């Protein structure tokens, strides 16, 4: 937002690009859960574009991004976050787009030293080189800390009106925001990618391990964002909704999985992922019963909707909490 | 002017916006596109996307967990 405005102040036409990888954390990806419904249900990139009065192009990069997540040349951060590869990838895509649409250069809001992997002094040139953007990549907020780029050398941009921000502190950015009259802005300091989340990364690692290959489809990674995931046996896992919003969301996937609902008591919806025996399904039903309103009952009736359409009704004793080992929770 | 429909149910933001954006790129000025979504976020996002790209929102409904938005293609994509 700041970098864009800095460039617009120089009379330059700017348009935004936002990439959708499938791992993005957005206000209303979470808003399917009740606890998050008080947060605004808006896409921050669109909101920012409207505040700035610029066009925004949202680009689906789900397929090409897979290789970044699966084979990051520079490795992962604390979790399965391939930040440096990701940054180079996005800058390369932005550069490609800018050439196709007749733009002269690209800008990012990076600040040297602000992020531990992709925005360090020695990694910023890596992004410039590996993205192919070279010195057509301008970082207006820390440009004065970097060698002049082509737009600065050619005088398309006045370098003196760019900034020299660095480090993890955000006071200079906040002061600049105030100068521009920005009263509200998207929450800074990351948290915009599920791959930086330890719990999510654990679920993705489990998915790869049990499938025997480091691959995924969009539905796989969307489902990792929702529900309680338990793997009681290596051959299957259960995804159990935690509230009505998640139940509603998982219902969209029920035809692709064997799924279960409690009949005698109110309760969640569970999807069963994996190849299961009858015994596995009975255990799954007991687990589901544990998370239903019949958790203290002697028996809970559960409908098992087999993949393909057959429906079977079973009566099970809910598992006690102490019968659910901690390592079943993914 | 022609009428078009887009089913964007059971997908989460920003996919309904991306599908809308891609559909609009294939349309002509004056064409109308009706998008049906289940993600309540579309209530804000598709109108915002339409405004910043110069398209007109003609109708917006949120009934029975279904968001239905009709837009008229106005602006030209860059």
Which string of DSSP letters, residue by residue, matches B42-72?
Answer: HHHHHHHHHHHTT-EEEEEEEETTEEEEEEE
Contacts of A16 (CB under 8 A, 6+ apart): A4, A45, A48, A49, A52, A54, A55, A56, A57
**How far apart, in whole angstroms, are the C-alpha atoms of residue B27 and residue B21?**
10
Residue A24's pLDDT is 84
Residue A192's pLDDT is 78
Tell me the domains of chain B and their CATH numbers. Answer: 3-72 (3.30.110.40)
A222 touches chain B (CB under 8 A): yes
Looking only at the bridges linking them, the beta strands covering B56-63 and B66-72 are: antiparallel
- Give the count of Cβ contacts less than 8 A between chain A and B: 74
**How far apart, in whole angstroms, are the C-alpha atoms of residue A32 and residue A310?**
29
B51 chain-A contacts, CB cut-off 8 A: 50
**How far apart, in whole angstroms, are the C-alpha atoms of residue A53 and residue A16?**
10
A28 chain-B contacts, CB cut-off 8 A: 12-13, 39-41
B21 touches chain A (CB under 8 A): yes
A46 chain-B contacts, CB cut-off 8 A: 14, 17, 45, 48-49, 52
Report residue B65's pLDDT band, with 50, 70 and 90 as the boundaries: confident
B37 catalytic per annotation: no
Nearest by CB: B44 against A18, A20, A42: A42
User: Tens-of-pLDDT digits for all 330 residues of chain A?
Assistant: 999 999 999 999 999 999 999 998 765 555 566 655 555 667 889 999 999 999 999 999 999 999 999 999 999 999 999 999 999 999 999 999 999 999 999 999 999 988 766 677 788 999 999 999 999 999 999 999 999 999 999 999 999 999 999 988 889 999 999 999 998 877 655 567 899 999 999 999 999 999 999 999 999 999 999 999 999 999 999 999 998 888 988 998 988 999 999 999 999 999 999 999 999 999 999 999 999 999 999 999 999 999 988 999 999 999 999 999 999 999
B38 touches chain A (CB under 8 A): yes
Strand partners, A303: A261, A313
Q: Give the dihedral sign, CA A122/A123/A127/A130.
A: positive
Contacts of A117 (CB under 8 A, 6+ apart): A74, A77, A81, A83, A84, A123
Record the tokens describing residue B37, joined without a space. Answer: 């979504």
Active-site residue identified among B6, B11, B13, B43: B13
Q: Where are the alpha helices (DSSP H) in chain A?
A: 2-8, 27-30, 44-52, 62-70, 83-100, 124-131, 150-153, 171-180, 198-211, 218-223, 244-251, 278-290
Residue A185's pLDDT is 77
3-state DSSP: chain A helix, strand, coil percent, rounded to 5? 40, 15, 45
Q: What is the DSSP letter of A111?
A: -
Residue B78's pLDDT is 46
Cα dihedral A121, A126, A129, A135, rounded to 10, equals -20
Closest alpha carbon within chain B to A100: B78
B13 chain-A contacts, CB cut-off 8 A: 26-29, 43
**How far apart, in whole angstroms, are the C-alpha atoms of residue A278 and residue A110?**
54
Residue B21's pLDDT is 95
Strand partners, A134: none
Nearest by CB: A55 against B38, B53, B65: B53
The alpha carbon of residue A219 is apart from the nearest alpha carbon of chain B, in Å, by: 9
**How far apart, in whole angstroms, are the C-alpha atoms of residue A52 and residue B47?**
16
């Amino acid at each position: 937002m700041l970098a864009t405005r800095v460039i617009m102040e120089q009379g330059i036409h700017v348009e935004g690009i936002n990439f959708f990888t499938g791992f993005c954390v957005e206000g209303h990806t979470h808003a399917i859960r009740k606890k998050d419904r008080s947060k605004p249900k808006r896409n921050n990139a669109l909101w920012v574009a409207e505040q700035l009065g610029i066009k925004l192009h949202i680009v689906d990069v789900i397929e090409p991004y897979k290789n970044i997540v699966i084979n990051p040349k520079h490795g992962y951060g604390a979790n399965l976050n391939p930040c440096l590869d990701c940054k180079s990838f996005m800058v390369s895509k932005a550069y490609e787009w800018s050439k196709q649409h007749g733009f002269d250069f690209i800008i990012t809001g990076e600040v040297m030293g602000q992020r531990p992997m992709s925005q360090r002094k020695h990694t910023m040139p890596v992004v410039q080189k590996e993205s192919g953007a070279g010195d057509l990549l301008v970082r207006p907020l820390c440009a004065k800390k970097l060698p002049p780029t082509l737009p600065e050398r050619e005088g398309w941009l006045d370098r003196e009106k760019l900034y020299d921000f660095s480090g993890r502190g955000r006071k200079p950015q906040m002061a600049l925001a105030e100068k521009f009259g920005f009263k509200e802005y998207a929450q800074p300091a990351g948290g915009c990618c599920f791959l930086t989340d330890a719990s999510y990364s654990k679920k993705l690692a489990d998915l790869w391990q049990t499938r025997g290959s480091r691959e995924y489809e969009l539905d796989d990674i969307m489902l990792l964002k929702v529900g309680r995931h338990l793997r009681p046996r290596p051959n299957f896992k259960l995804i159990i909704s935690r509230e009505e919003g998640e139940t509603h969301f998982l219902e969209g996937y029920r035809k692709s999985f064997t799924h279960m609902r409690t009949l005698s008591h109110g309760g969640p919806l569970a999807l069963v992922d994996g190849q299961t025996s009858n015994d596995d399904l009975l255990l799954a039903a007991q687990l589901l019963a544990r998370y239903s309103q019949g958790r203290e009952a002697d028996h809970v009736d559960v409908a098992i909707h087999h993949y393909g359409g057959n429906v079977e009704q079973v009566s099970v004793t809910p598992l006690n909490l102490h019968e659910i080992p901690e390592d079943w929770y993914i | 002017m022609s009428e078009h429909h887009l089913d964007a149910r059971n997908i989460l933001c920003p996919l309904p916006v991306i599908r809308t954006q891609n559909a609009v790129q294939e349309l002509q000025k004056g064409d109308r596109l009706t998008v049906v979504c289940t993600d309540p976020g579309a209530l804000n996002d598709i109108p915002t996307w339409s405004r910043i790209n110069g398209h007109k929102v003609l109708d917006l409904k949120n009934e029975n967990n279904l968001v239905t938005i009709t837009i008229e293609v106005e602006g030209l994509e860059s």
